[in-house]
Amino acid sequence: MENLNSGLLPIQKWGIKSTERPVVIAGPCSAESEKQVLETAKQLSENGINIYRAGIWKPRTRPGHFEGVGAKGLPWLKKVKEETGMLITTEVATEKHVYEALKFGVDILWIGARSSANPFVMQEIANALEGADVPVMIKNPVNPDLDLWIGAIERIQKAGIKKIAAIHRGFSTYDKSLYRNNPQWQLAIDLKIKLPNIPLFNDPSHIGGKRDLLFDISQKAMDLHFDGLMIESHINPDEAWSDAKQQITPAVLNKLLDNLILRDKKSHSLEETVELEKYRAQIDSYDNIIMGVLGDRMDVVKNIGKFKKENNITILQPNRWDQLMKKNYEQADSKGFSKKFVDRLFKAIHQESINFQTAIMKEETKEKIVKVTK
Ligand code: PEP
Ligand code: MN
């Protein structure tokens, strides 16, 4: 595998050793039992993972689901640290969580998406962190609001915490989407532009919500030069007490990481990659506009088709085509487009318009055939 960490990653400045892989934080969505916690950690550690995650307090959207084992799971994490040497991390959402986690030697704290969306919660956590020397990772808020994410980071910075990272876990949408949480990559890129010294992790598990999306999301994060990944891993994913569909075994995680293509950092600096992605996002948005406009144009074509049908006018009106192209050539010239390109483009659009109109005419023919044969 190529070495992603040829340069010094911001997170390495925290004193965190990283292997030749991206910095990977892995472990179950939730700590369920001492056995599950330790066995998962052992397998991950054998595969070279050295930062272990497990949720102790689980913020569930609806009541009545497993809300985490609570503080009784903290000694299990402590044992992971003692037996494997891994760093341990868990989510904190209240002042009490902060105190309890620190009491049990949790090495890195993370703040979840429902907490980072709430400035009161963020302030409570920040107050509890005053004077502590612990790295804190802040997930993006559930809603796509860059200022809210930055605000959450700033509150932790103001509490005197120096080692801060951000985690991109995607954003809630009401509409059904391929993803559990829409990645909206541009938002994470904008955070990276505004806060270039904050290490940025990607959480493909909560973005994807299902196993088969994890690789593509992780690869995209690597292409965008994220510093690392947080991936949920469980010894028996199907039986997990929370987020079962998105968890993978340590062995599958190993395979995923081995297959990641790590682009050469030297050929593209972070700035170049970010710049390139910004242009790509602009192009995507213009392509959307083009498709939208073509759709609107085709609606007009359909109306013309109906009008021609009702008034018995032929589809092809050569004069009209010549006039239209004359106007297009003039415009193309001022934009530096070749005549050939404009020809091809409008012939393709025109051909599709004719197809639509022919379909409308055919409907009428079908009606007539039915009438004649009845
Ligand atoms: C989690 O990491 O298990 C979690 C609850 O994440 P999020 O806050 O991103 O929903
Ligand atoms: Mn989870």
Question: Measured from the CB, is residue 112 less than 6 Å from ligand 1?
Answer: yes
Question: Does residue 25 sit in helix, strand or coil?
Answer: strand
Q: Check whether 182 has a pLDDT greater than 70.
A: yes
Q: Check whether 6 has a pLDDT greater than 50.
A: no
Question: Measured from the CB, is residue 26 less than 6 Å from ligand 1?
Answer: no
Report the separation in Å between the CA atom of 48 and the middle of ligand 2, taken as the mean of its atom positions. Answer: 22
* The pLDDT of residue 8: 53
Nearest CA owner, ligand 1 atom 6? 112
Grade residue 321 by pLDDT with cuts at 50, 70 and 90.
Answer: confident
Question: Measured from the CB, is residue 209 less than 6 Å from ligand 1?
Answer: no
Question: Does residue 54 sit in helix, strand or coil?
Answer: coil
What CA–CA distances, in Å, run from 7 to 31, 108, 270?
Answer: 34, 23, 11
- Out of 51, 60, 139, mutate this one to test ligand 1's pocket (max ligand atoms within 8 Å of CB): namely 139
Q: Check whether 278 has a pLDDT greater than 80.
A: yes
Domains, the chain, with CATH or none:
2-263 (3.20.20.70), 275-373 (1.20.59.10)
Looking at the CA of residue 113, tell me the nearest atom of ligand 1: 8
Looking at the CA of residue 30, tell me the nearest atom of ligand 1: 3
* The pLDDT of residue 109: 98
Task: Map tokens 């392509």 to a residue.
Answer: 287
Question: Measured from the CB, is residue 169 less than 6 Å from ligand 1?
Answer: yes
Question: Measured from the CB, is residue 192 less than 6 Å from ligand 1?
Answer: no
Among residues 202, 227, 204, the alpha carbon closest in space to that of 11 is found at 227
Among residues 213, 233, 232, 224, the alpha carbon closest in space to that of 261 is found at 224
- Give the integer Cα–Cα distance in Å for 346 and 28: 55
Among residues 92, 123, 127, the alpha carbon closest in space to that of 109 is found at 92
- pTM here is 0.73
Report the separation in Å between the CA atom of 181 and the middle of ligand 1, taken as the mean of its atom positions. Answer: 11
pLDDT in tens, 18-42: 655 589 999 999 999 999 999 999 9
Phi-psi map region of 64: left, alpha, beta (phi>0 left; psi -120 to 50 alpha): left
* The pLDDT of residue 288: 81
Q: Check whether 242 has a pLDDT greater than 60.
A: yes
Looking at residues 335-355, what average pLDDT do you find? Answer: 89
Question: Measured from the CB, is residue 170 less than 6 Å from ligand 1?
Answer: no
Nearest CA owner, ligand 1 atom 4? 112
Nearest CA owner, ligand 1 atom 1? 29
Q: Check whether 340 has a pLDDT greater than 80.
A: yes
* The pLDDT of residue 260: 95
pLDDT in tens, 207-224: 999 999 999 999 999 999
Report the separation in Å between the CA atom of 174 and the middle of ligand 1, taken as the mean of its atom positions. Answer: 18
Q: Check whether 367 has a pLDDT greater than 70.
A: no
Looking at the CA of residue 115, tell me the nearest atom of ligand 1: 8
* The pLDDT of residue 307: 87
Nearest CA owner, ligand 1 atom 8? 112
Q: Check whether 189 has a pLDDT greater than 60.
A: yes
Q: Check whether 76 has a pLDDT greater than 50.
A: yes
- Give the integer Cα–Cα distance in Å for 1 and 171: 32
Looking at residues 340-352, what average pLDDT do you find? Answer: 89
Residue 86 dihedral angles phi and psi, to the nearest 5° = -70, 155
- Lowest mean pLDDT, pick from 85-99, 103-117, 191-205, 348-362: 348-362
Report the separation in Å between the CA atom of 20 and the middle of ligand 2, taken as the mean of its atom positions. Answer: 26
* The pLDDT of residue 370: 59
